[in-house]
Each structure stands twice: as C-alpha cells, then as structure tokens.
Structure 1
Amino acid sequence: MSMRWGMTVPLSGVALAEHQAVFQALTEAGFTDLWSSEVNGADAFTPLALAAAWTPGMRLGTAIAPVYTRGPGLLAMTAAAMADAAPGRFQLGIGASSPVVVGDWNAVDFTEPYARSRDVLRFLKAALAGEVVDHEYDTFTLRRFRLERPPATPPPVLLAALRPRMLRLAAAEADGVILNWLAAGDVPTALAETKSAGPEFEVAARIFVCPTEDAGYARNVGRRLIAAYLTVPAYAAFHRWLGRTEMLTPMWQAWSTGDRKGALAAIPDSLVDDLIVHGSPAECRAKVRSYAAAGITVPVMALLPTPALESGGAPTLIKTLTELGSPTLN
C-alpha cells in the first residue's frame, strides 16, 4: 500500500494567506503530499511556494503546469526556484491542459499537444540538469539557454497522460505519470501502457472526494463535474478507450445539442460512484486506498464541497481533513 497520501491545494474558501493552518492540519493528519493544479484559480506554484516555507516536511507537486502557457525557459526557471526552495521535496508535473485553458483563456494556439508535451519534457530534463540547451525541437527552438541557478537536486518531471501514446512517452522519458478522471478499476488499463518504466517510476492520480453520506448531493456534484470534463474531447476519447462509449453516448448527444439538463440526467449513478469518491470520511479513505492497491503510488485527493464544509467554517474543514488523513494514522 502507498505510504504517500496527497491533497490538492489550495482549498476552496480559504485565503492563501490563511493556508498555514490548513497545511499544519494536513501534516498532523498524516498527509505527505501537497499538489496544486492550474486552471482558472490559483497558479500552480504560489501555493507550493508558501507550503515550502510553512511545511518543511511535505512533498510538493504540480498537477499540472501546462506546457503552453509559460515559455519553456520560464517554466524551467520556475521549477528550478521551487526545487531550490524545497530541495528534494518538489516534483514538476506537466501536461497539455486543454483548448479552453490554453486557447480561450491564455491566447495560445493549442496545436500538436503530444509533440509539445514531448518537446517540453525533453527540454526540462536537460535544463534542470544544468545543461546548455541549444536545440531546434519540432514545436519550438531555443538558443543557448542555461539556468543561472540550476537546482542542486533536479526535480523529477512527471507527465500527465490519458491514452496509450502519452502513457508510453511518460514511461520512456519522464520520471512518472499523472492520471486523472479514472476509476480505481481503470488503473490497471492505464498502467499496462507504462510497463517499460523503471522501478522508481511514480504514478500520481487526482481523485475527486466528496466526504458526505448524502449520496444524492454527492451525485449531483459529481454529475456537474462529469458533464463539464468528459465532454472535453481529450477526456471523451480517454473514456471511449476505457470502454465507456455506450454509457456516455447519451450524455454526449444531449450536450452536443445544448441540452444541459438532459446531459446531466443521462449520467448514470454507477458512473458517478466509480469516478467520484463519496461517503463518510472513513468510506472515502477506504475508496482512495483502493487506488493505491491498484497501483497508484501517490493518491491525491481533490476535496469537493459539501453542505457541512460550506456552512461549518474552519473547524469543520480541519475536522474533515483529520478524518480523511493517512490510514496509517487513523
């Protein structure tokens, strides 16, 4: 069983300036990892920079920093600074992100996501090792770039991947892979594509957790998330590959005609229960452990809102984090 136990930060409803208490509660609850995301909330690095200072024992990771929205040199500098601030504790997770995040919100062309991810991965491995990079990649060209402050301990670089080609790239060239939007039962299918990886290869997964025993509420939250994400072409293709074409076609058809209510209604309870962990904190912990049993080395919870969390304030949040803590301490 994995001894790593992660949480996605920052947590909703808590100002970044007030996260020191949150990080301390996570540490005391037995969490080992803090992982950030980057969509349209906080950037991927600021919460981790705070955590580097406030929680000197925690491992830190990005899941993910997009490969388009920063220039390659800036991405390398940012990763090097984080590795310098948290030596031996930082992991850089990169990925293609999505046309909405990259194109609609950051005004960058979302083209050739596989090639761009591969090229940025190769550049980062060289740059973070302190090498001079003077190379014409397929998707960009760099001339004589070298980090002024290369990290003494280069951070591992993990690649977000969904389908076989990207999974195999991660196994061949990255230090680990980051999975998302899959059930525990899907993990072996994904990892079958990474068999060539070495023994130190990390497998991180973001797992959506809604700690409430009100199944109706949790399923409503889950349906909205599933409709928002699994209609994105990359995630739709991922779930077709996983064998869910028949199950998801009614949702996709309703969504394509603009029938949002119909799309939500077409998502079966069984799919929500597979993709969204919900129940009491103890039940949630057990379900997250099932991902570790399936091969995830770094299960990373992404905490979803519940009525209790939204009304109970900081005491309820801290209590919930404690209850979701590492099974080795509970």
Structure 2
Amino acid sequence: MRWGLTVPLTGVPLRDHRQLISDLALLGYTDLWSAEVAGADAFTPLVLASEWDSSLRLGTAVVPVHTRGPAALAMSAAALADLAPGRFVLGIGASSETIVTGWNGIAYDPPLARTRDVLRFLRAAFAGERVDGKFDSFTIQRFRLEKAPDVPPSIMLAALRPQMLRLAAREADGAITNWLSADDVRKIRAELGPDKELAARIFVCATEDTEMARNIGRYLIATYLTVPGYAAFHDWLGRAEVMKPMREAWSRGDRNAAMSAIPDSLVDALIVHGTPDACRTQINRYVENGLDTPIIATLPTGTNLLETARSLAPA
C-alpha cells in the first residue's frame, strides 16, 4: 500500500521541511508529491527531497503541459530522474486556462491534444531518441537530450474525465486525479481500467472542529469547482444539480452566497476531516474503492502542519 504527502506544506518554508522529509519513510509514508499552481514550482521541492531521503518515491502532481516547452520539460524531468533513479514519477496535465493564459500569457491549446503530444514527445526523449517532426500541437526540430535518464521516469496524466482517463490507460503509466469522494473512485477506476496506477490528491483537514473544517471546505470548493474543467468533472460525476446554486451565485459575483449554497454533505464528501484516526479511516475508503496511491494535502487549521503530517502517517 502506498501513502503519499503533498509538499511543500502550506505556509511552511521549503528549508524547514528537511527533518519531516527525513522522517517520512520511518513513519510509513512511501511517496512525496509536489504541485504547481502559484507557490513553489513542481521540481524544486523534489530535488531537495532527493538529497534529504533515499527511499521515498517522488512525483509531480502535476506539471502543466503548456507552461514549459517540451524540451525544457524533458530536461527538468531528466535531471530529477538522474538524482532519484527509479523513484521519480513525472505527472503532467493540462492545468487550466486561468493558469496557462491568465497567469502565464500562453495560448491554451486543446488540452487533450497537447497532453497527448507532450506525453509522446517525452517518451521518445527519455528513450534517448532524436525527436524531429510535427505533432498536432507543436513542431520539434532535431532535439535530443544530452543525457537520457538511465531509468526513464514513469509518466502519469492528470485526468478527470473519460477521454483523458482512456488516454492514460492507453499510453501513460497511470492517472492522477483530485477533488473526488471515496465513492467517485469506482467510476474513475472503471474508465482507467484495472491495470494502471490511480493516484489522487485528497484534501485533509485534521481537526475536530467540524464547523471550521466545513468553512475551509466551502471556500475551496467554491474557488476550485467553478473552474470549467472541474465543473465538467463534477457534472460527469452526477453533481450538476447539487452544485447549481453555488455556480449561479458565483457567476453573479456573490462569493458569500456561493459558499453558503454548498451543503454540508458535499463538503463532507470531498474534504476529509476529523481526528487523525478518523481521517485515516476515510482515506482508506478511497483505497478500498480502487485507489492505489492516496496523496494527502494537509489544509491549515492554525496548527503546526509539520506535526499534522506526522499525525496522519499510516502507522
């Protein structure tokens, strides 16, 4: 059984993660996964972790396929694969138009085609091949990695809906998802099939203050699940009606009304909260329903997140 943690922890400087990361394997963690939104980039925390620990599997969840050129992405990934041979997983995904265009000023190519093309480019580059030719979303002229990794990293795709999940099943080593309930895992596993790894970032609010946890959850749900990609994901999961009042209030610009329109049952389905023991029990429900790799993302509650991460260890 795998048990992962998202780094860096919110509000904790990277330099202060060293002791925690050194302790994670002894605590029972198997994986360390980074993210890339508006904080640290996805690679730097894992580069540090590769020097602070020699056993954890390291993964990006995920690196956007639009915000780096294919060659730059291959070089960064190859460097980390060289630092942690055999234990690096490159998770890539389409991200969102807000991040790609709004924040980076880059055109948001059709996400399925771009993700597929980057995946195929990376496979060839990691194999040491010279990549030279036209893909549907870009053209590469005579690129070859100076040193292909001795152990090519596994490549997993961020996937929320059937087309991307099926692409992951056909051509990648697995799929990474998030913002789902334990019961949703069955539907996603059915699309991915039984043979590929399924990982999911699970938001965990380790507190017995239920009202606080639900308020944090409402804010995050209103912020994230009104983004078109996530909205379509939850429509597919069957939540269009329960989310309709939130979406209508959000589209009017009434953020408070949007959060108020989110029922407790939705928060409780998508945000794990309670004592550390209760949180572990809820995370294990995801695993029982077909998840291979839970990736805990600790949510700040005013407590020390370094200690929270320790308290959520599988042991």
**TM-score w.r.t. structure 2 length?**
0.98
Structure 1 distance, partners of 2:310, 2:62, is 26
The residue that corresponds to 2:23 in the other structure is 25
The residue that corresponds to 1:224 in the other structure is 219
How much does 1:104 deviate? 1.0
How much does 1:30 deviate? 1.0
1:307 to 297, 302, 314: 302
- Deviation track 1:41-68 (CA, whole Å, cap 9, x = no partner) reads 0000000000001011110000000001
How much does 1:26 deviate? 2.2
The residue that corresponds to 2:149 in the other structure is 151
Structure 2 distance, partners of 1:322, 1:107, is 39
The residue that corresponds to 2:204 in the other structure is 209
- Describe how 1:179-328 pairs up with structure 2 within 5 A: 179-195=177-193, 199=195, 201-309=196-304, 317-326=305-314
Is contact 2:61-2:92 (8 Å) kept? yes
1:89 to 84, 87, 107: 87
Structure 2 distance, partners of 1:238, 1:91, is 24
State the identity as a percent: 60
SS at match of 2:73: helix
Question: Which moves more between the two structures, 128-137 or 19-28?
Answer: 19-28
How much does 1:130 deviate? 1.1
Structure 2 distance, partners of 1:251, 1:153, is 46
Structure 2 distance, partners of 1:47, 1:305, is 19
For this pair of structures, how many residues does the alignment match? 315
Is contact 2:9-2:306 (8 Å) kept? no
Runs of 5+ unmatched residues, structure 2: none
Is contact 1:10-1:36 (8 Å) kept? yes
Structure 1 distance, partners of 2:31, 2:21, is 10
Runs of 5+ unmatched residues, structure 1: 310-316
Structure 2 distance, partners of 1:12, 1:304, is 7
Report the AA paired with residue 188 of structure 2. Answer: A
Report the AA paired with residue 270 of structure 1. Answer: S
Structure 2 distance, partners of 1:307, 1:70, is 35
Structure 2 distance, partners of 1:55, 1:232, is 36
Structure 2 distance, partners of 1:11, 1:219, is 20
Report the AA paired with residue 213 of structure 2. Answer: A
Runs of 4+ aligned structure 1 residues displaced above 3 Å come to: none
Report the AA paired with residue 7 of structure 1. Answer: L
Structure 1 distance, partners of 2:302, 2:308, is 12
- Deviation track 1:202-237 (CA, whole Å, cap 9, x = no partner) reads 111000000001010000000000001100000000
Report the AA paired with residue 114 of structure 1. Answer: L
Structure 1 distance, partners of 2:266, 2:26, is 33
How much does 1:318 deviate? 4.1
Is contact 1:61-1:90 (8 Å) kept? yes
2:70 to 69, 72, 88: 72
Is contact 2:298-2:309 (8 Å) kept? no
Report the AA paired with residue 146 of structure 1. Answer: R
Is contact 1:67-1:120 (8 Å) kept? yes
Is contact 1:206-1:300 (8 Å) kept? yes
- Deviation track 1:273-325 (CA, whole Å, cap 9, x = no partner) reads 0000000001101111111111111100000001333xxxxxxx443222210
- Deviation track 1:45-104 (CA, whole Å, cap 9, x = no partner) reads 000000001011110000000001110001001111010000001000000001111111
Structure 1 distance, partners of 2:226, 2:271, is 16
Structure 1 distance, partners of 2:237, 2:72, is 35
Counterpart check, 1:136 vs 2:131: no
2:12 to 14, 27, 43: 14
Structure 2 distance, partners of 1:21, 1:149, is 32
Is contact 1:29-1:321 (8 Å) kept? no
From the superposition, tell whether residues 319 and 15 of structure 1 become closer, same or farther in structure 2 (CA, over 3 Å).
closer
SS at match of 2:253: coil
Structure 1 distance, partners of 2:306, 2:266, is 30
